[in-house]
Amino acid sequence: MQIGRVQAIAGTANFKQLPEKIIRPGHERPENTKPFEGVSVPVISLSESHDILVKEIYNACSEWGFFLLKDHGISPGLIEKLWKVGIEFFNQPQEEKEKYANDPSNGKFEGYGTKMTKNLDEKVEWIDYFFHLMSPPSKVNHQIWPQTPSSYRHCDRYVLGPSESVTDTAILNHVTEEYNKELKKVIETVLEQLSEGLGLEGKVLKSWVGGDEIELEMKINMYPPCPRSELVLGVEAHTDISALTLLVPNDVPGLQVWKDDYWITVDYFPNALFVHIGDQIEVLSNGKYKSVLHRSLVNKERTRMSWAVFCAPPHDAMTGPLPELLDEKNPAKYSTKTFAEFRHRKFNKLPQ
Q: Read off the DSSP letter of residue 294.
A: E
Measure CA of the first residue to CA of the last residue in the chain; give whole Å: 27
Q: Read off the DSSP letter of residue 151.
A: G
Cis peptide before 149 (omega within 30 of 0): yes
List beta partners, residue 314.
none
> What are the distances in angstroms from CA 214 to CA 111, 174, 191?
20, 21, 12
**Is 66 within 8 Å of 257 (Cβ atoms)?**
yes
- Other Cβ atoms less than 10 A from the Cβ of 85: the count is 21
What's at 181, amino acid-wise?
K
Per-residue pLDDT reduced to its tens digit, 148-169: 767 676 544 444 444 433 332 2
**Is 68 within 8 Å of 43 (Cβ atoms)?**
yes
Element containing residue 265 per DSSP (H, E): strand 262-265
Q: Read off the DSSP letter of residue 105.
A: G
* CA distance linking residue 266 with residue 232, whole number of Å: 18
Element containing residue 184 per DSSP (H, E): helix 175-197
* CA distance linking residue 158 with residue 160, whole number of Å: 6
* CA distance linking residue 95 with residue 93, whole number of Å: 6
Count Cβ atoms within 10 A of the Cβ of residue 96 and give its class: 0-12 exposed, 13-18 middle, 19 or more buried: middle
- How confident is residue 207, by pLDDT bands cut at 50, 70 and 90? very high
* CA distance linking residue 46 with residue 352, whole number of Å: 34
In our burial notation (b when 16+ CB lie closer than 10 A, e otherwise), range 204-221 reads bbbebbbeeebbbbbbbb
The answer to which of 116-120, 138-142, 292-296 has the lowest mean pLDDT is 116-120
The answer to which of 26-30, 109-113, 169-173, 259-263 has the lowest mean pLDDT is 169-173
Name which of 305, 291, 157, 100 is nearest 219 in CA terms.
305
**pTM of model > 0.75:** yes
pLDDT for the residue 289:
98
Q: Which residue has the higher pLDDT, 9 or 75?
A: 75
* CA distance linking residue 2 with residue 209, whole number of Å: 36
User: What angle (nearest 5°) sits at the alpha carbon of residue 89, between those of residues 17 and 95?
Assistant: 65
Count Cβ atoms within 10 A of the Cβ of residue 162 and give its class: 0-12 exposed, 13-18 middle, 19 or more buried: exposed
> What are the distances in angstroms from CA 276 to CA 265, 270, 290, 346?
14, 17, 9, 17
* CA distance linking residue 6 with residue 1, whole number of Å: 14
- How confident is residue 172, by pLDDT bands cut at 50, 70 and 90? very low
Name which of 300, 302, 253 is nearest 274 in CA terms.
253
Per-residue pLDDT reduced to its tens digit, 2-61: 457 999 888 775 667 788 888 999 999 999 998 998 899 999 999 999 999 999 999 999
Mean pLDDT of the 314-319 span: 95
Left (φ > 0), alpha (ψ -120 to 50) or beta: where does 38 sit?
Answer: left
Q: Read off the DSSP letter of residue 119.
A: -
- How confident is residue 250, by pLDDT bands cut at 50, 70 and 90? very high
Annotated catalytic residues are 219, 238, 240, 294
pLDDT at 304 over 90: yes
